[in-house]
Amino acid sequence: MQRSCQLLMRRVGDGRRRRCGLSPVSPSAKQGVGYPADPPPVEEIVAVMRQAGRSAQGLRLRGLIAVLWRSGMRMSEALALNEADLSPQRGSLLVRSGKGGPRREVGIDPWGREQRSPRLERRVELPVGALFCIISGPTHGHPCSSGAVRVQLRRHAREAGVRRRFAPHQPRHAHAVEMAREGIPLNIIQRQLGHANLGVTSIYLQGIDNGEIIDAVHARHAPVLSASSALRL
């Protein structure tokens, strides 16, 4: 009997092998789809957090969004956090294994810590381990999966009336843009985000609106002539 098409391997013209009926996968396709920096405004992030509610699962998602937004961590870094990685005294979080980089310590502001606190209160009822963990079932206490988080974010964003793509990386983009607006030096933003070079950080800041750039230029002071220079004229 002929094998199923899904299992049948056949030669293609360039000598490579692929499954029947499936196009060869390019290296870029394996890396996922790239999206431009599109940081959501504060109103949309807060709307998604509010929509999550105050159930155990809702508080977990609210706390996760707060960490992503107010510390700029990647979702993989946030989901890998353990209770021991929190430092209330320093107001920081320890990233033990970043994206291709060494461990680093990132700051989180008091408001972000406040939004995370209800989750910590519920967390003590579960086995020691991941901060954002599965709450019930045989795997309770284990880290949440990134796929489940993405599904929850999409659903709550849709229910909150957010008319744009709302993915875990976007609060991180918002964090970078907000720090730049506040005048924080670019090298500090780079260290906070865990980027290997400033070029990657600058891509995140493309989310700054052109109107903001024009307003910033308009707000510049007029050239000032020093007294010493004027006396030499």
DSSP 62-89: HHHHHHHHHH---HHHHHT-BGGGEETT
The span from the CA of 187 to the CA of 190, in Å, is: 5
Q: Which residues are catalytic?
A: 74, 99, 169, 172, 195, 204
Task: Report yes or no on 229 lying in a domain.
Answer: no
Determine phi and psi for 104, rounding to 5 degrees: -145, 165
The span from the CA of 158 to the CA of 150, in Å, is: 12
Supply the CATH number for residue 156's domain.
Answer: 1.10.443.10
User: pLDDT, tens digit, for every residue of 47-56?
Assistant: 999 999 999 8
Q: Which domain holds residue 136?
A: 42-206
pTM of the model: 0.73
Task: Report yes or no on 212 lying in a domain.
Answer: no
Tokens matching residue 231: 């006396």
Task: Report yes or no on 183 lying in a domain.
Answer: yes
Crossing angle (nearest 10°) for helices 56-71 and 146-159: 100
DSSP designation for 105: E
The span from the CA of 23 to the CA of 20, in Å, is: 8
Task: Report yes or no on 231 lying in a domain.
Answer: no
Task: Report yes or no on 214 lying in a domain.
Answer: no
Is residue 112 within 8 A of residue 71, CB to CB? The reply is yes
pLDDT score for 200:
85
User: pLDDT, tens digit, for every residue of 115-149?
Assistant: 888 777 777 777 778 888 888 888 888 889 999 99
Strands 86-87 and 92-95: antiparallel
Task: Report yes or no on 222 lying in a domain.
Answer: no
Count of domains observed in the chain: 1
The span from the CA of 95 to the CA of 8, in Å, is: 44
Residue 199 has pLDDT above 90, yes or no: no
Lowest mean pLDDT among 72-81, 156-165, 213-222: 213-222
Task: Report yes or no on 176 lying in a domain.
Answer: yes
The span from the CA of 152 to the CA of 183, in Å, is: 33
Task: Report yes or no on 26 lying in a domain.
Answer: no
